[in-house]
Amino acid sequence: MVQEAVNATPNNLGPGKFVIRIKTGLYDEIVRVPLEKRNVVFLGDGMGKTVISGSLSVGLIPGMSTYESATVGVSGDGFMASGLTIQNTAGIGAGQAVAFRSDSDHSVIENCEFLGNQDTLYTQSLRQYYQSCRVQGNVDFIFGNAAAFFEDCEILVTPRVLNPEKGETNAVTAHGRLDPGQSTGFVFQNCSINGTKEYMNLYHSNPNLHKNYLGRPWKEYSRTVFLNCNLEVLIRPEGWMPWSGEFALATLYYGEFKSSGDGGNVTGRVPWSNQIPGEHVESYSIKNFIQGDKWIPPSSC
């Protein structure tokens, strides 16, 4: 099993990588990569082929935290993964149910799929890079307080588990920056925001019932930007939604640059969001935002 392989890796590995080859199959287990397991690589056979599956959730398991609900949780720095599906299959009443959680600095995730509903991907802290990944969920399903960069990723809204036809209000992101001095935030570059086929059938049956936004502020200094992203029709003209009342609206930073698609018309955006000037876009590059030129392998970017 995957956890047994993690347990067998050397502690505090130096500059090299320890590759765990995970062959095609369904691995029904909870996996933890602790702090002392550095530079671990999960190498699978592809999305939908190598699948790690769990069903922990806050709503269905007394005393369970969002942090501990993750199917795969990584704390060791330098973690890498490629060619995997990681899912949380918790059902009705689950509430927060994380598929993948990372508080690994310098983590690099390529060609991986994360499936869930509420809180699918928990980018908890530190610097993280996601390339050519697919993230699927509905409520705040990309969240945390990492400095996370998403490049060429597919973001998909999925129907709610209970009574999906009754409608819902979804935020794709909920960034949790606590202090203006923190260098954290979410950057999405050349990504697409859409719904699954099942969700879009629901959406088109009654667009006014099915409302989707790019993000909402989990914490006071929430920061999220979308650069050259394709936003499909499910994204509301307002673009962004409040968390509660006026909370964080004067302190957050939400921005877009050259959004496209039917949801990319920015004329109706909320006044507390921004259109990023061209001369400022470079500050959100891989190099400047997460210092990725120093630690992301050249093949990844």
Residues acting as catalytic residues? 119, 140
CA separation, residue 200 to residues 53, 171, 226, 298 (Å): 25, 16, 22, 37
CA-CA distance, 293 to 301, in Å (whole number)?
A: 9
Structure tokens at 147: 């400095």
Which long-range CB contacts under 8 A does 283-288 form with residues at least 24 apart?
Answer: 284/187, 284/189, 284/225, 284/227, 286/129, 286/149, 286/151
Strands (E), 90-152: 100-102, 107-115, 121-123, 127-131, 134-137, 142-144, 147-151
CA-wise closest residue to 115 among 165, 184, 51, 32: 51
Query: Which amino acid type is present at position 157?
Result: V
Q: Token pair 């960034």 is at which residue? A: 175
Report residue 248 as tokens: 């964080």
